[in-house]
Structure 1
Amino acid sequence: MTSFNDFGLHADINRALAAKDYTQPTPIQTQAIPPLMKGRDLCGIAQTGTGKTAGFSLPSIHHLLTYPHRPTPRGCRMLVLAPTRELAAQIAQSCRDYGRFTKLSVSTVFGGVPINKQIRDLSQGVDILVATPGRLLDLIDQRALRLDDVEIFVLDEADQMMDMGFIHSLRRVAKLLPSRRQNLFFSATMPKEIAGLADQFLNDPVTVSVAPQATTAEKVRQFATFVEQKEKQALLHHVIKTSDIDRALIFTRTKHGADRVVRHLKGAGIEAFAIHGNKSQAQRTAALQAFRSGQVRLLVATDIAARGIDVSGVSHVINFEIPNVPEQYVHRIGRTARAGAEGIAISFIAPDERPYIRDIERVTRTRAEPMPLPEGFNELVRNLPKPVQPPRDTGSRGRDPNRQRQDARRQPSGGQPRGDRGPRRDAPAGEGAEGQRKRRFRPRNKSVGAHKGAVKRVG
């Protein structure tokens, strides 16, 4: 197939593809679309950036248009499961783009945002629902969603689903789906555990693969520098200031590590945003939009949050910390050199990370080019600017919302905690909480014998 017109897709889909100037399908699309249009189940092994979202959404939309009917209330005709909010939002937007000239409805549900609006959106039913597993099951438990009318089920980034511990949620979802449906299963890697998961969902599938397992993107030049952990920040500043960076993704292993890198960069006058699981959905969306628009050219991310970051023009991927899972390295550097472009991946390797890089080299069968430390590096370390201070905790930010609600219930009607209520208005000057307690138990009638057990006042 040399053109999307050769697939026999619905006219409204071809019209949308023409509007986006999509003419030539990618290899995964060429292999996946024909069997999917025949109703076959599919197991796809493909890295990010290969066009697999269009590979499964185009024939699925074609099916929904070929057999039109209204979705049932609280139901959906097509269900797509994704591991992260960003990836779910990206898939939903692609479906909207490809169905822009149709009347198909597309909804997205994931955590981090109020559930009530999602319940209202699902009340009349939707054609295409893109969800993360946790929020999907929340809606099912609240009887706001049912899956017995699903015609097409898509599981995307299955390997990441396993890494994030969603295996039990996926098994529960499988039991709720109708037995007669079309199943699409996509994963960048296919170890035995993922193959076993695929067997639970697929029925006589067609298997397509556009790259060997755990291979790195072809047009990514990989470099590695051995450096002490405490000196990595100085090396990062040097790389950013001396490299021709259009946009760069900087990866850390932890959320706090990502925030720490951003504070150091801002201390040096370098603008950057962080994106990870501790950020609110609004913060994550704002950071991603700023990065996509070019307002900020550096985005510091953890592996989980980075799934679904599909941004064109990422020229560099910098592994500030090496992942301890080789497949994560493949996903990371796959964020650059997309759509035929070239990219650069630079890894900072501390002494305790050498075993990780050896595992990566063994699995990917590649070796990064050594990049020595710059001249005068010790001077750069000594002159490293101090990081900006983290925002001060206001008391409620970052606390458990359930604990906050409990605290609120313990407060008096005035809204001030009991331990913080100051002296009563009628308390003598200088009398604190202890004095109030003593005063509270004094008899109002000061005469002797005013009540049983009264103490005679002297003087």
Structure 2
Amino acid sequence: MLFEDLGLSPALLRALSETGYTTPTPIQAQAIPPALNGEDILGAAQTGTGKTAAFGLPLLQKMAKMTPVKGPRKPRALVLVPTRELAVQVADSLKTYGRHLRLNVTMIFGGVGMQPQIENLRRGVDILVACPGRLIDHLDSGHVKLDAVELLVLDEADRMLDMGFLPSIKRVLSRVPQQRQKMLFSATFEPRIRALAMELLNKPTEVQVAAQNTIAETITHRVHPVDGPRKRDLLVEILSRRHTDQVLIFGKTKHGCNRLAEQLETAGLKSVAIHGNKSQAQRQKALDQFKSGKARILVATDVAARGLDIPNLPLVINHDLPMVAEDYVHRIGRTGRNGASGEALSLVAPEEGGLLRQIQRMLKADIVMQTVDGFEPSRPIRLDAPIPKNGGGQQRRQPMGGRPAQRPGEQKPGGQRAPRKAGARGHGKPADRGAHAHAHTGKPGGRPARSAQRLDSRA
């Protein structure tokens, strides 16, 4: 099947051809035709399979055919994303696919000043890509209205509909016309989240191109048992042996990632850290250094588990296992993309056996354990060990910013704000805090090499 077979317009086909894409991925082939027919879509596919184009191409085509309402151009399509980095990446992809269409794509997210966003909104918008927290700010200030929205997309919908986000999502949806087409896309849909998604959709077409929580077959997995205090030493040993590989390392806390990056630097391994406490400029600088090769190692919290697309990233290391098994899917999805081979290493302490068991149950497969000489753990890993309340030192899963659902100034479920205590920090925008790492590769949507001839964009 070719893109020409999906009913896309000549303008879109021209843009795809110019970027070297001719063959749609399975999620694109199955989702684009019903989306063009105006059906609601519930789409699930593993990371790196091109979900951005699956909703982006029909969205652009429908917007190009619609006649804008008279007066100032208000958003006619709204794409909600959980992080500022995804907002940038999705907007870049839409601009690339729609380069021959006269459509204005604008993005708004936290972590930057509002005034430039206000000016962009005043100039007129056709397609708005936004994080819920900052979008609510603009809605409350009257800088944007959503009464003209005809198509709504929730990207990474499993997180968007998680309990920490649902109040914000509902506030936004209350400003959007009820009669609208809706598309929800994600790599995973837990039963509870799927039930919430179904409440928002009208007789959706379900598109699932792989079993839930599956990982690309091109990724090999391995566990290195090691005592917790010796993880850093083992990590240095591994990185020293593989001194040419680019490596993404996941830690469990912001402070821990900073410290680990500093320790690796001391060991002579050029490293940068990225997490939710860093400003957008700091995060972008770290990513640029990583992408350019100035820093071979990127240490990150789960903010980098989604939306980070580094072409040909060969190795991902879990310094700490995630508290939630599904996050393993997203972490490991940073490697083995677009058909390339990848490797996933996890350093597992004996007290993390319960977390490892969760991951293996989700994958429905065992992960090979290989002890490294000189780093044998003091006791074996017991998969039947109970999971500590803090996940063996890990933080509980929080709304996207990694913070408790209720803090001074944040959204209450009913849309009211809790009183802000004197000196309280933060602005209470759960969707814009602890944002995931953005890797603006210059290849729209994190696309693959042209030789692949497939539109395999980021997760």
Normalised-by-shorter TM-score class: 0.7 to 0.9
Query: d(CA) in 2 for partners of 1:312 and 1:28?
Result: 20
Residue 360, structure 1, aligned to residue 393, structure 2: no
Distance in 2 (alpha carbons) for counterparts of 1:71 and 1:238: 64
Aligned to 2:28: 29
In the alignment, is the contact (CA less than 8 A) between 2:188 and 2:213 conserved in 1?
yes
- Aligned equivalent of 1:88: 87
Letter matched to residue 344 of structure 1: E
SS at 2:345 equivalent:
strand
Residue 186 (structure 2) pairs with residue 197 (structure 1): no
Corresponding letter in the other structure for 2:113: P
Q: SS at the partner of 1:249?
A: strand
1:224/1:349 contact within 8 Å kept: yes
TM-score (norm 1): 0.80
The aligned amino acid for 1:242 is R
Aligned to 2:142: 143
Q: Deviations over 1:324-379 (max 9, x none)?
A: 1110001111111000001000000012211000011011112221121134889x
Q: How does 1:241-390 map to 2 (within 5 A)?
A: 241-243=240-242, 245-375=244-374
C-alpha separation between the residues in 2 aligned to 1:313 and 1:32? 26
1:74–1:144 Cα contact (<8 Å) kept: no
Q: 1:189 to 1:71 in 2, by over 3 A?
A: farther
Cα distance in 1 for partners of 2:291, 2:339 equals 18
Between the aligned partners of 2:244 and 2:222, the Cα distance in structure 1 is 15
CA RMSD of aligned residues (A): 2.2
Match of 1:50 in 2: 49
Look up the SS of the partner of 1:123 in the other structure. Answer: helix
- Deviation of 1:72 (Å): 5.5
1:383-398 map, 5 Å: none
Instruction: Provide the secondary structure at the position in 2 that maps to 1:339.
Output: helix
* Equivalent pair of 1:248/1:316 in contact (CA under 8 Å): yes
Task: Report the residue type matching 1:148 in the other structure.
Answer: D
Greater Cα offset, 350-359 or 3-12: 3-12
Between the aligned partners of 1:327 and 1:244, the Cα distance in structure 2 is 30
Change (3 A) 1:73 1:62: same
The one-character-per-residue Cα deviations of 1:215-263 (angstroms, maximum 9, x if unpaired) are 2221110000111111111111111121265322110111111111100
- Unpaired segments ≥5 residues, structure 2: 378-419, 426-459
Quote the Cα distance in structure 2 between the aligned partners of 1:373 and 1:119: 55
Measure how far apart 1:119 and its partner are: 0.9
Aligned residues of 1:71 and 1:77 also touching (Cα < 8 A): no
- Partner Cα distance (2:128, 2:52) in 1: 14
- Aligned equivalents of 2:320, 2:185: Cα separation in 1: 27
Structure 2 distance, partners of 1:74, 1:27, is 35
**Whole-Å separation in 1 of the counterparts to 2:164 and 2:73:** 27
- Please report how far the alpha carbon of residue 74 of structure 1 lies from its aligned counterpart in structure 2 after TM superposition: 6.9
Q: Label 1:246 to 1:102 Cα distance change in 2 as closer, same or farther (>3 A).
A: farther
Aligned-residue offset at 1:403:
4.9
1:456 is aligned to: none
Q: For 1:436-459, what per-residue CA distance to the aligned partner results, in whole angstroms no more than 9, with x for missing partners?
A: xxxxxxxxxxxxxxxxxxxxxxxx
Look up the match of 1:218. 217
Give the Cα separation in 2 of the matches to 1:306 and 1:248: 14
3-state SS, counterpart of residue 77 of structure 2 = strand
**Cα gap change, 1:376 to 1:333, in 2 (>3 Å):** closer
In the TM superposition, what are the counterparts of 1:136-215 in structure 2 within 5 Å? 136-163=135-162, 165-215=164-214
Letter in 2 for 1:298: I
Take 2:343 and 2:163, find their aligned partners in 1: how far apart are those partners? 27
Q: Give the 3 Å change call, closer, same or farther, for CA 368–148 of structure 1 in structure 2.
A: same
Contact 1:72–1:149 (8 Å) recurs in 2: no
Residue 48 of structure 1 and its aligned partner are, at CA, apart by 2.0
- Percentage of matched positions with identical amino acids: 48
The CA distance in 1 between the partners of 2:172 and 2:192, in whole Å, is 18
1:229 aligns with 2:228: yes
Shift in alpha-carbon separation, 1:34–1:374, aligned structure 2, 3 A: same
**2:429 alignment partner in structure 1:** none
Distance in 1, Cα, partners of 2:423 & 2:197: 40
CA distance in 2, matches of 1:376, 1:322: 18
Counterpart of 1:191, as a letter, is E
Q: Aligned equivalents of 1:350 and 1:22: distance in 2?
A: 44
Aligned residues: 383
CA contact (8 A) 2:213 2:326 kept: yes
Distance in structure 1 (CA, Å) of the matches to 2:118 and 2:154:
22
Structure 1 pair 35–72 and aligned structure 2 pair: CA distance change class (3 A): farther
SS where residue 218 of structure 1 aligns? coil
Q: Are the equivalent residues in 2 in contact too, given 1:26–1:51 (CA < 8 A)? A: yes
Q: Match for residue 2 of structure 2? A: 3
Q: Distance in 1 between matches of 2:242 and 2:71?
A: 54
State the match for 2:433 in structure 1.
none
2:444 corresponds to:
none
Query: Do the aligned partners of residues 288 and 140 (structure 1) sit closer, same or farther apart at CA in structure 2, a change above 3 Å counting?
Result: same
- Does 2:62 align with 1:63? yes
| In 2: Cα distance, 1:22 partner to 1:55 partner | 13
How far 1:322 moved relative to its partner?
A: 0.3
Structure 1 residues 49 and 357, CA gap change in structure 2 (3 angstroms): same
Deviation at 1:176, TM superposition (A): 1.4
Q: How far is the alpha carbon of 1:304 from its aligned partner?
A: 2.6
- Alpha-carbon distance change, 149 to 369 in structure 1, aligned in 2, over 3 angstroms: same
**Partner letter of residue 116 of structure 2?**
K
- The whole-number CA distance in structure 1 between the counterparts of 2:283 and 2:59 is 29
CA distance in 2, matches of 1:59, 1:224: 42
Structure (1 or 2) with the larger CA radius of gyration: 1
Between the aligned partners of 1:234 and 1:55, the Cα distance in structure 2 is: 43
CA distance in structure 2 between the partners assigned to 1:272 and 1:164 by the alignment: 34
